[in-house]
Amino acid sequence: MPPKIRGMTANLTSRTSSSRRFTLMVSGEDAIDAGLERDTPPSGLPQERFLLGDCLPIAPVLLLGQSDLAVNPNEAIACLQPVHLHATRDHLILMAQSQIDLTANESANLLQVALPFIEEDFRSKVLFQGQRDWFISAGPFASLATHSIDQAHGRNIDWWMPRDTNEAGIAKLWRKLQNEIQMLWHIDPVNQERGQGGHPSINSLWISGIGKLADIQTPSLLQNVDRIYGDHPLLAGLAKYLAIHQQPEIDFSKLHNTFAWIDRPESIWDNLRRALVSNELDEIEVIDFPKGQTRHRIFTAKDLNKKSWAFWKKSEPLAWQAIISV
């Protein structure tokens, strides 16, 4: 491990109001081994737990970000998402929504067909329909343990299907509704047209994110930021909940006291490094999740050059790969 990085791992969470800090969060993967001993999947991706807390109220946060509805903080909300389950020889794999190219018109038509069954079993009206996400009061399904598509996609769904928690039979009730909708959509014109166009069929409905706004437990660092950068759907709702400005793209003229979660953090590292060197920033905080565990590291300008053991050689700029590979 480079000496500078080794030193930084001990400099974790100090924060002062006068510090000009940019905080960058890097997506991590869940630690599958953590669930093997219980024969249940780990609850949520580490970045989901970090932002929202262990209750993972993803659905109401997404609803807040996508709509202008006044969301009841004490109402359990569920997110329903039309998906494609890819059949292999012996199991089904959930495809990411970004892979299925669902249009707004297709989403509306599929919901129209499934709506009577959904509202009958949930005993409630659909609250809001987005292109990829539909929201409804969780009602009798409020106790289900579920997993987001971000966590479950690309995997055998047998292990990631909703499970009962404190009330038996709820998962079975969900599977019954899911099967009914699968049969309806199998013969729907939407899927016939998608098949002719070479697109994967929308052959199932996914439920996830069940929770209440009142269950959100945000990290303390978000109480000290002025703006949030990133286009992940969770950020829009979280920013609205915290009354913080949020935008998809980073404004490099406004880096002080900001939090960013973006898909390709390596693409902005050179800009951030220059901001430190030019004294536009005092610190860069990097949050990542090795082996599913939250790690905070703080870098200052003096940490950005990796010194060589050969004293006659110039020091090298600290590359993003060196930071993230530790």
Cα–Cα dist 323/269, whole Å: 10
Check residue 306 and give its pLDDT.
Answer: 59
Show the tokens assigned to 222: 């978000």
Q: Burial-class residue 302 by CB neighbours within 10 Å (0-12, 13-18, 19+).
A: exposed
Q: Does pLDDT of 104 surpass 50?
A: yes
Q: In terms of DSSP bridges, do strands 295-299 and 283-288 run parallel, antiparallel, or are they unpaired? A: antiparallel
Q: Does pLDDT of 3 surpass 60?
A: no
144: Cβ contacts below 8 Å, ≥ 6 apart: 138, 162, 163, 164, 165, 170, 171, 174, 207, 210
Span 180-201, pLDDT tens digits:
999 999 999 999 999 999 999 9
Check residue 41 and give its pLDDT.
Answer: 83
221: Cβ contacts below 8 Å, ≥ 6 apart: 15, 23, 259, 285
Q: Which of 88, 103, 117, 111 is nearest to 193 (CA)?
A: 103
| Mean pLDDT rounded to a whole number for the chain | 88
What is the rounded average pLDDT of the residues 298-313? Answer: 67
Q: Does pLDDT of 132 surpass 70?
A: yes
Q: Does pLDDT of 310 surpass 70?
A: no
- Select the more confidently predicted residue: 318 or 237: 237
Check residue 18 and give its pLDDT.
Answer: 55
Check residue 320 and give its pLDDT.
Answer: 87
Q: Which residues, in sequence order, are bridge partners of residue 207?
A: 80
- Select the more confidently predicted residue: 100 or 7: 100
Check residue 307 and give its pLDDT.
Answer: 55
Span 105-130, pLDDT tens digits:
999 999 999 999 999 999 999 999 99
What is the rounded average pLDDT of the residues 250-278? Answer: 94
Q: Does pLDDT of 35 surpass 70?
A: no
Q: Does pLDDT of 10 surpass 60?
A: no
Q: Does pLDDT of 14 surpass 50?
A: no
Check residue 62 and give its pLDDT.
Answer: 98
Check residue 224 and give its pLDDT.
Answer: 86
Q: Which residues, in sequence order, are bridge partners of residue 77?
A: 137, 211
- Select the more confidently predicted residue: 65 or 302: 65
**Cα angle, residue 180 at apex, residues 177 and 181 outer, rounded to 5°:** 90
Span 43-67, pLDDT tens digits:
899 999 999 999 999 999 999 999 9
Q: Does pLDDT of 33 surpass 90?
A: no
Beta strand spans in the chain (E): 21-25, 77-83, 85-87, 92-94, 126-129, 134-137, 204-211, 227-229, 245-247, 258-261, 283-288, 295-299, 305-306, 316-317
Check residue 27 and give its pLDDT.
Answer: 94
pTM (whole model) above 0.85: yes
